[in-house]
Amino acid sequence: MSADAVALPGPLTEEYTARWSELTGRWAARPGTVLGTLGPDGTSSQLVAEFLARQHGLSVELFATFDEVLARIVAREVDFALVPSAYQGLTRFHWHRDLRLQAFFPQATPEYGIAAPAGQEPPADGEGPVTVAAMWEVRRIYAELVPAALGDREVRWVDAASTQHAAEIAAAGGARLAVTNAPGVRAHGLRWVATRPGAEILWTLFGHADAAEVPLTA
């Protein structure tokens, strides 16, 4: 390993610290700064946003999709956007000329897994597709956890905008199973079929590129 490679963590640590120092200083100077992210209550994004809000006196606004989060921050209706690195459309935030990556940090998600309506038996082995509600980003969890009896069954995906939406779809009968998180299971009366621990992922915080020149949202 080269000397330059060994020295790399120092500058990275300094950059991380400088970004957080600048950002938390702005938040401290303006209590109630508006942070937008994906809802509804119980999504991993909402849980992380509320954690930041408690620590730094922020106001959280939730939106149905990250498309809407992007639109609202570009329209200056929120001051910052919280977006997980696992989101497939994250590059649209990175490359938007009006936005700037302000900070980033690791944080674990809640427990995830496959869930079914509590009053129904999960699908058994047999023929025909199994309907599964899930966000695109977490579909691979199904293949990781699917019970052996369902391993050979075709999957018919039902698109969901969030983990909570996936749980809601299954609870309403729109899918036999859902890939969701622990808050989704509790909120919608589902039961676990298979679970895995949450994943530690990177969370990104975007602000306006000209943030130093423009007042924060009232």
Task: Please state, in angstroms and rounded to a whole number, the distance separating the CA atoms of residues 19 and 9.
Answer: 15
Q: In terms of domains, do 30 and 94 share one?
A: yes
For residue 206, the number of C-alpha atoms closer than 13 Å in the C-beta half-sphere is 29
- Sign of the dihedral defined by the CA atoms of residues 159, 175, 148, 129, in that order: negative
Q: Which pLDDT value is given to residue 9? A: 59
215, part of any domain:
no
Number of domains in the chain: 2
Q: Which pLDDT value is given to residue 212? A: 53
27, part of any domain:
yes
Q: In terms of domains, do 36 and 76 share one?
A: yes
178, part of any domain:
yes
Q: In terms of domains, do 48 and 82 share one?
A: yes
Q: Which pLDDT value is given to residue 125? A: 65
Q: In terms of domains, do 91 and 139 share one?
A: no
Q: Which pLDDT value is given to residue 121? A: 75
Instruction: Give the start-end residues of each E strand in 15-120.
Output: 34-38, 59-63, 80-84, 99-108, 112-117
Which ranges of the chain have pLDDT less than 70?
1-9, 122, 125-126, 212-218
Q: In terms of domains, do 71 and 164 share one?
A: no
CATH of the domain at 178: 3.40.190.10
Q: In terms of domains, do 8 and 77 share one?
A: yes
Q: In terms of domains, do 87 and 132 share one?
A: no
Q: Which pLDDT value is given to residue 3? A: 42
Nearest-CA neighbor of 59 among 85, 37, 87, 90? 37
Structural domain of residue 53, as residue ranges? Answer: 3-109+200-208
